[in-house]
Chains A and B, each alone.
Chain A
Amino acid sequence: MSMINYASREINCKIVYYGPGLGGKTTNLEHVYQKVSPNTRGKLISLATESERTLFFDFLPVDLGTIRGFKTRFHLYTVPGQVYYNASRKLILKGVDGIVFVADSQVDRMEANQEAMQNLYDNMAEYGYDLTRMPFVVQYNKRDLPNAAPLAELQAALNPGWEVTEAPRQRNTPDVFHAGEYLVQQIATGEWVERAPYFEAVAVTGEGVFDTLKGVSKLVLKSLS
């Protein structure tokens, strides 16, 4: 639930990194934490188990800059990856403004990715949020691993797109992040579909981490305007 605070001239937004266990959600936040100037970020709070698995959430506040004199402050959260922590996963989604789904590209994690994606849709629906109508991006992490699945396979399994029924939106919409690709397009069956923007990443080295964050933050700010 974004809050525009005219008294302190701040826009506060909440972004949640969601995905299967050990997929790199916390690593994304840690990279942002390390690279952003200490003046523009707060503390990285981790509620984790002794073995460093996220128990409740990780949290990092980041200031991105000023728009029309308003400081834009993003609160970045991760959720626990393991399904048995679903109660706490769901709590973190409360009031979310933008979602990053961090998928693990490894072939043998495909099932875990799909299970987490389904769980995300279910938890969002329980709050009455429609994931297809809000800022949502997919990050394919661990692209450097030899057993990483091809991008097309991951897209087909995790981001196949949803039908676009409103006529005004049924037009080719270029994917600004990937030249020559479209976010909304007509498929062979004649149906118009929209996919979430996607990003490739290697979170341990930081590759793609900021592109993903920029992608989702931009969508969130544009959804406010």
Chain B
Amino acid sequence: MPFGATSWSFTESDYTAIAQVLQRFLFESNARCALIVDRSGQLITTAGDRPTFDVTAFATLTAADFSANDQLARLIGERDFNTLFHQGERESMLLADVGRRVILVVLFDNRTTLGMVRLKMKTTVDELARLFERMFTRPSTTPAPGNPLLGDVDDEIDRLFQ
């Protein structure tokens, strides 16, 4: 049993692999922007139009939105709602669960349709689920190539708080 939440790492090559999947999805669906947020509310990456809003707050609220809806699903006897849709006048967003680990958020406007975004999202979610499965099951003690782990940094940690 883990003592607490486990830590995980996100490397340059993970970033490249995910960026490729997201770019292809945005091209095919004509959506504006895609964000990946982990279930605890941390933003992992974005693709497409650079968001002009506060992405940190956005990521937190997205995770909370998803968690609250998970509980609502259970109350009515569903395991979860694996996609959520929020419709606005100009902008809409579609959120999808990716392997119970992260959330894909897609922002789109009237240049495309909900049907198109939903259709293209299906294969994207599968591809992302495979990538994240690999990342989360990777031994957490393995340092990313070329990067040291946080070993022997007591002094640096102490200095942060002086």
Residue count of chain B within 8 Å CB distance of chain A: 46
Residues from chain A with Cβ under 8 Å of B61 in the complex: 45
Q: Are B4 and A96 interface neighbours, CB within 8 A?
A: yes
Q: What CA separation (Å) do A68 and B154 show in the bound complex?
A: 11
Question: What 1/0 flags go to A62-89 for Cβ under 8 Å of B?
Answer: 0011011010100100000000000110
Q: What CA separation (Å) do A214 and B45 show in the bound complex?
A: 28
Q: Are A4 and B8 interface neighbours, CB within 8 A?
A: yes
Q: Are A4 and B3 interface neighbours, CB within 8 A?
A: no
Query: What's the least CB distance linking A148 to chain B, in Å?
Result: 27
Query: What's the least CB distance linking A205 to chain B, in Å?
Result: 21
Query: What's the least CB distance linking B45 to chain A, in Å?
Result: 7
Residue count of chain A within 8 Å CB distance of chain B: 49
Q: Is A150 an interface residue (CB 8 A)?
A: no
Apart from A4-B150, A61-B56, A218-B157: 12 A-B pairs, beta carbons within 8 A:
A1-B7, A4-B8, A43-B56, A45-B61, A59-B57, A64-B160, A75-B56, A88-B68, A96-B40, A130-B4, A223-B4, A225-B154
Interface residues of B (CB under 8 A from A): 1-12, 14-15, 38-42, 44-45, 54, 56-57, 60-61, 63-64, 67-68, 71, 144, 147-154, 156-161
